[in-house]
Structure formats: C-alpha cells, structure tokens
Amino acid sequence: MLELWGGHECTVNRTREGYRDQTVLSGHEDRIDDLDLFAELGCRALRYPVLWERVSPYPDRAPDWRWSDARLERMRQLAIRPIVGLVHHGSGPAHTDLVDPLFAEGLAAHASAVARRYPWIEDWTPVNEPLTTARFSALYGHWHPHVSDERAFWTALLNQIDAVRLSMQAIRRVRSDARLIQTEDLGRTYATEPLREQAAFENLRRWLTWDLLTGRVTREHGMFERIDRHGLGDRLRAIADAPCPPDVIGVNHYLTSERFLDHRLDRYPPERHGGNDRMAYADVEAVRVLLPGPDGLDGVLREAHARYGLPMVVTEVHNGCTREEQMRWLLEAWRTAERLREDGVPVQAVTAWSLLGAFDWNSLLTRGAGHYETGVFDVSGPAPRPTGLALLMKALSSGDKPPPAALGAGWWRRDIRLTYAPAPRLADDPPPRRVQAPAAGPSLLIVGDGVAAEAVASACLWRGLDYRRIAPADAGFEPDEVLAFTQPWAVVAALATLDDPALDPWSEACAGRGLPFMDVSLHPQLHEALDFLIDGASDVRPAALRPLASAAE
C-alpha cells in the first residue's frame, strides 16, 4: 500500500548573515502539538531533524537533547516513524564546513551519539541532498563557505558522501538493520543543439549522490576523469571500494528541477543568463519553454528505477503557488506513484513537504526577507491553520475522494505555463510521456452579474477553477433550488456592495448545506479569499483576511 509521509521544512543553512533555522522561523521550535496535527493528516512517517548544528553547536559542550527527546518520544506515542536527518542543507556547526577534511568524521560522531540516544530509530538520512548542497555552497557560492570553484565543489560533495558512509557505519554499530534513505533533487536538463554536450554533462552529474554511494564511480564512469583531474581520484577509489548503497532512493522533485539551456540569449531576460567556460547561455525552467513539456516526476522515477532497481520514495512534494495548484501538484505526485506501482516500479511513499510552509526559498535562502509561502498549514497567524492541502492529505490517507479544487490540470499542464517562445526537444531526448490530469469535479458557483463577478470569473479562469455563473435574480429561483440543481462545492457572491440584501439568502442556503460561502467585491484580496475558500472556510469575508501584496502573486 502506498504510504503518506510528511516533513516540515527544517533547513539550517549558513550564509554571511549567519545561521537561519526554518524550524525556528515556522514556530515549530515551540509547538510540540504540531506533531499531533501531523498525525491527524494520516502521516505514517515524518522526515525529522536531529541536526548537528542544533544539538551540538559547540564542540566543547555536551549535546543538548531536550528538544529532540520530547519530540521523538511524542512521535513514538503517535505511532509515527521518524526518518532522522542529521544535516539539512547545512555545513555543520561554526567550527567546520563542507570543505573541511574533518567534516565527515565530525558528522559521524554526531550520528553515533544520536543512534546511541535513540536506538529504536530505524530510518536515517544523514545528509539531505549532498549534490545540491555542494552546488549551492561551493560551486555557486550562495551558502557557506561561499566558494565558486570546481575543486571545492567536488571536495564538498565527496566530504558529504564520506559523511553519509561513516555516519551509517556508526549508526549500524548500534542498530545493524538501520536503513539509509538517501534524498537528492532529481530532474532532467534539456537544451538546444549547440548545448547538447552541456545538457549531457548535467544529466550525468545529477546521479552522482547515488552513483557514489552505490560504488559506481570507478574509472569507467563518465565523471571519474573530470573529478580525478582535481586530485581526488584516490578518494573516488576509496568510496567505490567501500560503498554504502541506499536502502531507499529518496527523490525530491520540483517544478524547477527540470531545466532548459538555450544559446539564444536574446529570448530571455539577463537574470537568466549564465554559461560555462566555452559558451554563454540562458538557464530556465523547462516547464516554461519546452514543447511538448518535460516528463516530470513520472519520467525521473522511471529513470531512477532503470538505473538502480532499488525501492524509492518521493521524499519532497511542494509547490509554492495558489492553493489549488499546491493541491494539484501533490495529487499528481500521488497518482504518479500509484501508476508506477501498477507498472511494477517500487515506489513506497509520497512525502508532503513543507508541512508548515517555508521562508525565503524564493531567494534560495540568500536573503532574510521573511518571504513566506504556506504549506499544509499556514503559520502566519497565532496558530497553525490547516489549508486545502490538509483536506487533500486526509483524503489520500483514508482513500476518500480528493477535494474538488484539487481536480483538473495544474498550470504546468496548461498553455499558461509557457513564458518564453516554445522550443522543441532534441531528436535523441526521451519521447514525451502523456500524463492524464484528473477530470474536473464539481464547479464553483459565482452569484453576480457586475464588475465584481467578472473579476471572480477571471481569477477562476486564470487558476483553472471550473465555475458556473448566475445573476441573483435569474429565473426567479430560490438559492436552495439553485444549489440543489448545480451541486457546487462552494459559492462566491460577487454583488455590487458587501451589504447587498441579496447576500443573506445565499449565505443561509449554503450554511444549511454545509457549503463554503464567500461574499466579495472587487478588492486586492481576491486571490487570498479564494485560497481561504478552498481551505474549507465556511464563511469568508474580506475583513478577516490579511492584506495581499499583489492579487496576481
């Protein structure tokens, strides 16, 4: 049976501004009751941090287990399995970093202490996304130690791989059956003909976390010679001679994971321009330009299965967007996993990531601007508020029908996805796979015939929300009769004024049927109001909403 897993965004990353801890930013640091909320969603397992930087920030002081003790014990009481992470996009405490020769030994010592403290824990992810973290820290210089050097990049990657190997050795000395669930971001790179070679390089490099751990990076591997040129051949041989293959491949896949490289710079804004040492090119999301579109999660899971033949879990599913698009992205991942299981591909679980939302990922955590995107819960208020994703998770875990707003095609399956002039695949790229979007469910009912109703209809069209529209006095029917005939999942009253007397009969009729109801005039909170409606709010009124920066965001 396909399992539903979860995880809150728990990155502790370091920049020149210092450390930023997502667990603190989301408020989970002080809310152990969040775990009860997670259990109510139907989560069978949680990716959960016992991070080196948090437990042992000072090498001359004893570890502080108080926070982890309480949370892990509560998870045991709730019958939730933890998948313990030890470093999550971090570089360790202040006395070390990813290019430090002692990084791996230091993390292994922390792993040993955690395993001895919690010998009942079976599943582990010592280092989250080693390749991605090495790129952001030592190739692009976004995170500490802010290096942009290829040798430093390979060193950071191998140090993290060694940290995984040594950590699992230490953990298995305590519990011999401990499992390694190794996560990594996985997409595919497409390109124009002049950039075929660069795309091929990136499509081989993307596998390195798992290739290294499975002992595949020997002299015959396509990356061996390049890494060896930086004086790291002996390290590659040592890793290949003592591999640490994952028990489970953890695939993190985002809409930004698949890239398109284009030598025609004039087609793209300057901030998309980059290049290698031979050619300048634009690097953009493949979903915004490729026609037909990229293969997405279905494609990369099939590729990973063909390459490794190991059990797999989709270990991060999150889409920072309007609510129905967040829900569609999770539902598509779930349906993809179900379809692959039917085809004999061993996908064991799908993980709803960012249960409490995420902060400042729009800048890759390089700026502490406080930019917040909601997750399964919205923590921007005084207490976590369940969103439509919570409704969807409960439906998936119980086998119920998904909420209506989750049905239909996500924006990545519609023409609005194309931001740039469409570009084709190369002839030897994999042929596109057809993915059937869930059929649309019940419609949203818009009551109104003026400017406000037109604005709501336009917003629904932009968001791919199926709707019906009716004037308040159409055919003289009573609201309850209209609801019985149209069977909407929610009603939006978009009349000329918010105190229109025609509102009350609709509000009362919706209350009688348990339908979400919203009255709204033309105002900049329209999109957030629709999000609240999708979240299942029974009576959404503008006065209760937070201000929106932009109705188009």
239-286: pLDDT as tens digits: 999 999 999 999 999 999 999 999 999 999 999 999 999 999 999 999
User: Does the structure show a pLDDT above 90 at 430?
Assistant: no
Q: What is the pLDDT of residue 544?
A: 44
User: Does the structure show a pLDDT above 80 at 38?
Assistant: yes
User: Does the structure show a pLDDT above 90 at 460?
Assistant: yes
Q: Give the predicted TM-score (pTM) of the model.
A: 0.94
- How far does Cα 520 stand from its chain's mean position? 32
User: Does the structure show a pLDDT above 70 at 363?
Assistant: yes
B/e letters for 260-287, b = 16+ CB within 10 Å, e = fewer, are: bbbbeeeebeeebeeeeeeeebbbbbbb
Q: How far is CA 353 from CA 305, 400, 491, in A?
A: 22, 21, 30
Where along the chain do the CATH 3.20.20.80 domains lie?
3-400
Average pLDDT over residues 25-47: 99
Q: How many CB atoms lie within 10 A of CB 173?
A: 12
Task: State how far the Cα of 349 lies from the Cα of 444, in Å rounded to an integer.
Answer: 32
407 CB contacts (<8 Å, ≥6 apart)? 328, 331, 438, 439, 440, 441
Q: What is the pLDDT of residue 540?
A: 58
Q: What is the pLDDT of residue 472?
A: 75
The torsion defined by the Cα of 387, 391, 397 and 399, in degrees rounded to 10, comes to -160
Q: Decide if domain 3-400 falls under CATH 1.10.300.10.
A: no
Where along the chain do the CATH 3.40.50.10330 domains lie?
444-544
Task: State how far the Cα of 263 lies from the Cα of 251, in Å rounded to an integer.
Answer: 29
The domain covering 444-544 belongs, at the CATH homologous superfamily level, to Probable inorganic polyphosphate/atp-NAD kinase; domain 1 (3.40.50.10330)
User: Does the structure show a pLDDT above 90 at 67?
Assistant: yes
Helix (H, G, I), strand (E, B) or coil at 359: strand
Specify whether the CB–CB gap between 250 and 182 falls below 8 A: yes
Share of the chain above pLDDT 90, in %: 86
Burial (Cβ within 10 Å: 0-12, 13-18, ≥19) of residue 418: middle
18 CB contacts (<8 Å, ≥6 apart)? none
Structure tokens belonging to residue 12: 């502790």
Instruction: Tell me the average pLDDT of the chain.
Output: 93
User: Does the structure show a pLDDT above 70 at 522?
Assistant: no
